[in-house]
Amino acid sequence: MTTLNRRTFTRTAAGAAAAAFTGCARRDRRPNVVFILTDDQRWDCLSVAGHPFLKTPHLDRIANEGVRFSNAFTTLSLCSPSRASFMSGLYPHRHGVLNNFTEFPSDLPSFPRALKAAGYDTAYIGKWHMGEDNDDKRPNFDYWVSHKGQGKYWDTTFNVDGNRQEVKGYYSHVVTNFATEWLKRPHNRPFLLCLGHKAPHGVWIPEPKYEKVFDNVPVKRPDYKVALGPTKPAFIRERIKSWHGIDGNLYGLNDFEKFIRYYHATILSVDDSVGEIYETLRRMGELDNTLIVFAGDNGFLLGEHASIDKRTMWEESIRIPLLVRYPELIRQPRVVEEQVLNLDTAPSITDICGVGPIEGAQGVSFKKLTQGDNTGWRKSWYYQYNFEKEFPYTPNVRGVRTDDWKFTHYPNGDGSPDKYLAELYNLKDDPHEQKNLINAPEAQQKLKELRAELLRLQEELKALPDRMPVNPQLKLELPDEKIR
């Protein structure tokens, strides 16, 4: 008698479950892909990452059954540029989406394009946010459910494959319902589902069952006296009462405790969504044959450095959650500490699915890292942000981060000496970036090395000549309400 091991038995039973759930089990067993992206979720907003009060059991399960990349980053901490990098595997200066108002180029190679060309059923559901006023169906997706701009936490108008309709309900659950219904359709080919959440993008509106869940959690405003001192760039002080400063109106809430509690409460609905997607795949018999990738598009400042929002190069702004589950590849769950970038996701997905490399991609497949092989992995990477007249609170930013150090400067754009003080941090000794070593005599050799490394990366990545707004002027007025 043949003895079945646990994995073989599970997969056999899963196949039978799929036949019962969908009516037939598909024959093409290439891995499916489910890519889930949140908006403004920090890397530490997972209980598995040690958050003090936020509990995310469904996301923790993905991490504990796969890989959690504990040092994942965005190379431009802003929604649209980061999303374009996730899709294309390119740095922002190469894909051209440098702000929140630029379309993703329709002819640009991307992982959805590669998977569709390889015969995958493809769907995009939820927040797209590349092209503020355009919800038209984008190329490379067989099924399309999205909306203009940010969408709303309640009763968003969606374009459902060309038909616009207001869909009643809370955003996180509405897009999850669309996703699970599409997943349950018969698929004779492998499928790609991209699911874009609105949460936890402000202005936050938790669903009623979570609105008061953190009311008893103590909330303390960060001590930001150091951030306003002479060793820090002056724009922090200049903008402290602006839309992106801790003494501003806090997205209209004017209440720091509510600001913190509501932000985290919206993530609970995302965690519920991940649980529903997981359970749907399990019932279909496709769970272990699906590559699940969960990520945030950028981090978010919650008062650190006297600031809120993102865009800057401080750790709270650039670090993102990144989780991957695929038992066929990841048989030993692990935490990976190497620096992984958002633009590594696209080449990783195509590599794991065996559909060939993405033409011109600058990211690197992290497939080998999931196996514990870090041979030749990157030790440094390039960060960029261009001043936006629509959100005039952060100057141009250029920087380089290594495993242990970070150098950031704020160029004027015309080659003249920088208006704002640059920053240099020893992240190993100073992970919260409190002690700026830019003028410290003992750090000048390191500064010289990092300036050279920044230039080397810009040359290697074809980021020169470096085009950016010239002599941008910071302002304090509120941004247009429709683009917040």
Report yes or no: 408 and 335 within 8 Å, Cβ to Cβ: no
For the cut 50, the answer to whether the pLDDT of residue 2 exceeds it is no
Percent of the chain residues topping a pLDDT of 90: 91
Question: Quick one: pLDDT at residue 28?
Answer: 74
| Average pLDDT of the residues of the chain | 94
Question: Quick one: pLDDT at residue 356?
Answer: 87
Q: Give the 3-state secondary structure of residue 296.
A: strand
Burial class (CB in 10 A: 0-12, 13-18, 19+), 203: middle
CB atoms within 10 A of CB 293: 23
Cα gap 38→27, rounded to integer Å = 32
Report yes or no: 39 and 197 within 8 Å, Cβ to Cβ: yes
Query: Mean pLDDT, to the nearest integer, of 111-128?
Result: 98
Residue with tokens 């090395």: 449
For the cut 50, the answer to whether the pLDDT of residue 263 exceeds it is yes
- The string of pLDDT tens digits covering residues 205-237 is 999 999 999 999 999 999 999 999 999 999 999
**Which residue segments constitute the domains of the chain, with CATH numbers given?**
29-379 (3.40.720.10), 383-483 (3.30.1120.10)
Cα gap 181→22, rounded to integer Å = 11
Handedness of CA 293, 297, 303, 304 (dihedral sign): positive
293: its two tokens = 């990738």
Q: Left if phi > 0, otherwise alpha if psi is -120 to 50, otherwise beta: which for 460? A: alpha
Cα gap 167→157, rounded to integer Å = 6
Per-residue pLDDT band for 8 (boundaries 50, 70, 90) equals very low
Report yes or no: 240 and 246 within 8 Å, Cβ to Cβ: yes
For the cut 50, the answer to whether the pLDDT of residue 24 exceeds it is no
Residue type, 23: G
Residue type, 185: R
Question: Quick one: pLDDT at residue 127?
Answer: 97
Report yes or no: 37 and 86 within 8 Å, Cβ to Cβ: yes
Q: Give the 3-state secondary structure of residue 125.
A: strand
For the cut 50, the answer to whether the pLDDT of residue 260 exceeds it is yes
Query: Mean pLDDT, to the nearest integer, of 375-380?
Result: 98
Please give the backbone phi and psi of residue 380, each rounded to the nearest 5 degrees, phi first. -155, 160
Please give the backbone phi and psi of residue 406, each rounded to the nearest 5 degrees, phi first. -145, 135
For the cut 60, the answer to whether the pLDDT of residue 5 exceeds it is no
For the cut 70, the answer to whether the pLDDT of residue 380 exceeds it is yes
Query: Mean pLDDT, to the nearest integer, of 135-156?
Result: 97
Question: Quick one: pLDDT at residue 3?
Answer: 32
- The number of residues making up the chain comes to 484
pTM attached to this predicted model: 0.94
Cα gap 119→364, rounded to integer Å = 23
Cα gap 440→396, rounded to integer Å = 24
- The string of pLDDT tens digits covering residues 442-472 is 999 999 999 999 999 999 999 999 999 999 9
